[in-house]
Structure 1
């Protein structure tokens, strides 16, 4: 597991259930805005249909095989935004191989299974799965 994701997981697990929800809300406020070059290109983004909210993502794999994840999620959906922010922050700076090696069950390791619905956890799993899929496709195309 990449260090950043392990640190995020450990931070969640050190808290009570109610504190975990507060931390998730804090992550939701940290979801970065899209870079200007993508703000007028919604056609590049893939909808994550498994999420209850309209969530879209796009992955870049640069010339040095480093992955850059961009996600949009409505401010009215703090749980979804929090999950998206965790992935954006946790995958930042990782190589494609490191992203592909992230355990698929990572969302279930955060200790949120009692605090959020299984549907929302599935949404985060889908975000991770779609990011990995885009990494795989972009590497093949390179």
Structure 2
């Protein structure tokens, strides 16, 4: 498991999960689900800007902005998909405000490092990995 080059916000989130007993980690994920920031009105009014994350069973859409080398991630995920919504929230909160280089340096296996691999299905972890890969690709295209 890679723990190098994890930006501080994502490292703190990972540590919050790992400090909890395994049976309490899903509760923290549900808390993140409730904290997914609303997308800005500008983004909400232009759904064509979003990219669907095909790896997710639920309809998850992301959009990444890069202004002055600072990344802002936007994501939507349905309330009835709290696990997926939680993963999107972790990434939005952990990535927004980072530089493009910091985002690109996030280890691809970050989703496996937060201690949820036994609590949620590999398919769901794969969905979070898909979100991260799409974020990195959008950052690369927009920098």
Alignment-derived partner of residue 13 in structure 1: 18
Three-state SS of the structure 2 residue aligned to 1:38 is: helix
TM superposition score normalised by structure 1 = 0.96
In structure 2, how many angstroms separate the alpha carbons of the residues matched to 1:134 and 1:77? 24
Query: Does 1:106 pair with 2:110?
Result: yes
Work out the CA distance in 1 between the residues paired with 2:37 and 2:15. 22
Identify the residue that residue 65 of structure 1 maps to in structure 2. Answer: 69
- What is the 5 A alignment of 1:77-92? 77-92=81-96
RMSD: 0.6
Alpha-carbon distance in structure 1 between the residues aligned to 2:55 and 2:112 = 16
Q: What secondary structure, in the 3-state scheme, does the structure 2 residue paired with 1:57 have? A: strand
Q: CA separation in 1, counterparts of 2:15 and 2:128?
A: 18
TM-score (ref. length: structure 2) = 0.95
5+ residue gaps in structure 2? Answer: 1-5
Specify which of 31, 40, 44 is matched with residue 35 of structure 1: 40
In structure 2, the partner of 1:22 is 27
Partners in 2 of 1:135 and 1:2 — Cα distance?
Answer: 16
Distance in 2 of aligned mates of 1:39 and 1:5: 25
